[in-house]
C-alpha cells in the first residue's frame, strides 16, 4: 500500500491509500475518487511530507496487529484492504437506518434532540452536507463503490 496526499478542487486536503501509483492514476482517470469533505471528484496528488527514521527508540509495546482470518491468507495487501473495506461497509449498512433523502432533516432532529439518537445514513447534496458541517453537526461522506446495493 502507498499513501498519497490529495487535494480536491475546493482546496480540501486529505490522504488516500492505493496499491500503486498506477492504481491512483486509474482511479482518478475513471472519476472513482472524491473528496470526503465536499464530494468533489476533481482530485489531484500533492507533495507529501517525507519521513526519516533517525533512530528513534522502539515503542515499548508493539502496536495492535490486524487479526488475520483464513480468507486473508495468501492475498496481497490491496486485496486485504478491499476485503476490510467491504466488511466495514457491510457493518455500516446493517447497523444503520437508511433515511434516504431525509438525511439532512433527520440528522438535524437527532443533533437537536428532537428524535431518538441512532446511527443513520442517507443522501445529501454537497450544499446540504456543507450546511450540516457549518451547523456543527457531525456527518461524514463515505465513498460507496459502484454497484453497491444500499437497500
What are the residue boundaries of the structural domains of the chain, listed by start?
A: 1-46, 69-151
Distance from C-alpha of 8 to C-alpha of 44, rounded to nearest angstrom: 6
pLDDT in tens, 44-77: 888 766 555 555 566 666 555 556 677 777 777 8
Count Cβ neighbours within 10 Å for each residue of 98-127 and write b for 16 or more, e otherwise.
ebeeebbebbeebbeeeeeeeebbbebeee
Residue with cell 452536507: 129
**pLDDT for res 115:** 92
pLDDT in tens, 103-146: 999 999 999 999 999 999 888 888 998 999 898 998 888 766 55
Distance from C-alpha of 114 to C-alpha of 107, rounded to nearest angstrom: 10
pLDDT of residue 150 exceeding 70: no
SS3 content of the chain, % helix, strand, coil (to 5): 35, 15, 50
pTM: 0.47
5 membership: H or E segment, kind and range: strand 2-8
Give 16's strand partners: 4
Give 46's strand partners: 5
- Give 24's pLDDT tier (boundaries 50, 70, 90): confident
Q: What is the distance in angstroms between the CA of the first residue and the CA of the last residue of the chain? A: 31
Is 74 or 28 the better-scoring residue by pLDDT?
28
Amino acid at each position: 500500500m502507498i499513501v498519497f496526499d490529495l487535494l480536491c478542487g475546493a482546496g480540501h486536503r486529505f490522504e488516500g491509500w492505493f496499491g500503486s501509483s498506477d492504481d491512483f492514476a486509474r482511479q482518478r482517470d475513471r472519476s472513482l475518487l472524491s473528496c470526503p469533505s465536499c464530494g468533489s471528484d476533481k482530485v489531484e496528488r500533492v507533495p507529501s511530507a517525507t519521513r526519516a527514521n533517525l533512530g528513534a527508540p522502539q515503542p515499548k509495546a508493539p502496536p495492535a496487529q490486524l487479526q488475520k482470518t483464513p480468507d486473508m491468507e495468501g492475498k496481497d495487501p490491496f486485496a486485504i484492504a478491499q476485503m476490510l473495506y467491504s466488511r466495514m461497509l457491510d457493518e455500516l449498512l446493517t447497523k444503520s437506518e437508511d433515511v434516504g433523502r431525509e438525511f439532512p432533516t433527520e440528522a438535524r432532529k437527532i443533533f437537536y434532540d428532537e428524535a431518538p439518537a441512532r446511527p443513520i445514513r442517507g443522501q445529501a447534496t454537497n450544499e446540504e452536507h456543507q450546511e450540516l458541517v457549518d451547523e456543527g453537526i457531525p456527518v461524514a461522506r463515505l465513498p460507496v463503490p459502484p454497484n453497491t446495493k444500499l437497500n
